[in-house]
Amino acid sequence: MEVLDSVDSPHWLSLFFDYCVVGRPFILPSTATQTWRARKEWVTPDGRPDEHRLIEEFGHLDAPVMVEGSCEPVTMKLRDYIAYVRGARDGPRLYLKDWHFQESAGTSHYSPPACLALDWVNREEWTSTVASPFDASDYRFVYYGVKGTWTPFHSDVLSSHSWSANICGRKLWYFVPVGEERRFEENGNLICDLRERKEEFEKAGGFTLYQEAGEIVFVPSNWHHQVHNLEDTISINHNSINASNVRLVADFLLSRLEDVRAEIDDVRGIFSEEEMRQHEQLLLKADARLDLPGLEKLCRLVIDSRVARGRDCYVCWLHQDVAECRMGACRDLPCDCTSSTCTECVCLLEEYEVTVAALTMDRITKSGRPSGCSVATTR
């Protein structure tokens, strides 16, 4: 049975290379969130959601709410959801989840730790603008679940990383290592509840984690998990893409593209080859919210922004493929700083980003460049 690593104040670049690049989950202690406005303003002194304050500030906002037993969310005002929380809670449980709170209320209520702030989707100048390949949307969410609500067994969208910070309340996590999730498939679909397969869960090397108020859990790409609210719990969550997992995102999209091609193969003779490529990418984006031209665009945005700041390519003398490089082991950390604003460390990280983004673009091109996607030579 694996135990999730608890890390406290390591160098943020070490965290990035040792956990994000390698793909190892970890948990940060409550000190990582102790200065957040959300921890101070959304919680009562006894550690419960401050319902009065939440209604006063955000009660007018719409939020998606899952009804137990249903597959589609309903839209509710936050004040109406809190009225349910305050009431008898009869009938199916309601779970407010995947709420794009930040689009309406901003991000001033929290500040991710340096390692988790490396995020090409949610924390760049193109985030939530028309320049973004994600149609000006984001992958930042708030969850608010009453005791007993839970999220079925799954892995995160687009093979992204995710992190979840408990503002208040407690959660129980079930983790299954990458590849072992196949044990829990039925007719090609994942089962919903790992608790039905306790013996198989143990054979798979699965492990559990109790997450307390203030702690942050990092879930790497392709790690399947299931989460239960043990108390009324509010959390802030991000799904992220960066240099540590962008090639896994490319793998996901290329694999899904093959599925799309198989699904529409019977109409291939009706359209020209160019038209088929266009239809494939449209279907891919409809399914995954991102297509291959979009991923290339994201990589190009990263490269152009870093090159404009004078960054070059990253070099590891021990590894031809930079994905195998482990900062601090085969290449020294620039310094012992603890700040993500350190010029030397940021420079090295951005060089790494340039190289990985360029390699990802090259991977997509060699796999068959999608229609309408132009790849300029990396500077």
pLDDT tens across 298-322, in order?
Answer: 999 999 999 999 999 888 888 888 8
User: Nearest Cα to 160, choosing from 280, 251, 259, 287?
Assistant: 251
User: Nearest Cα to 120, choosing from 357, 328, 289, 312?
Assistant: 357
Task: Kindly state the tokens that stand for 2.
Answer: 């694996």
User: Nearest Cα to 139, choosing from 114, 154, 153, 159?
Assistant: 159
pLDDT, tens digit (0-9, with 9 covering 90-100), for 325-341: 877 678 777 887 766 67
Residue for token digits 């009453």?
146
**The pTM is what?**
0.92
To the nearest whole percent, how much of the chain has pLDDT over 70? 94
Report the distance separating Cα 169 and Cα 266, nearest Å: 51
For residues 290, 296, 302 and 308, what is the CA-based torsion angle, rounded to 10 degrees? -140
Report the distance separating Cα 182 and Cα 186, nearest Å: 9
Residue 368 banded pLDDT, cuts 50, 70, 90: low
pLDDT, tens digit (0-9, with 9 covering 90-100), for 271-287: 888 889 899 999 999 99
Q: What is the mean pLDDT of the chain?
A: 91
pLDDT at 373 (0 to 100): 41
Delineate the domains of the chain, giving CATH numbers in brackets.
Answer: 5-240 (2.60.120.650), 246-366 (no CATH)
249 Cβ contact partners less than 8 Å away, ≥ 6 residues apart: 158, 159, 160, 221, 241, 290, 295
The three-class DSSP label of residue 93 is: coil
pLDDT, tens digit (0-9, with 9 covering 90-100), for 154-213: 999 999 999 999 999 999 999 999 999 999 999 999 999 999 999 999 999 999 999 999
Residue 37: pLDDT over 90: yes
Residue 1: pLDDT over 60: no
Q: What is the mean pLDDT of residues 371-375?
A: 40
Report the distance separating Cα 17 and Cα 28, nearest Å: 16
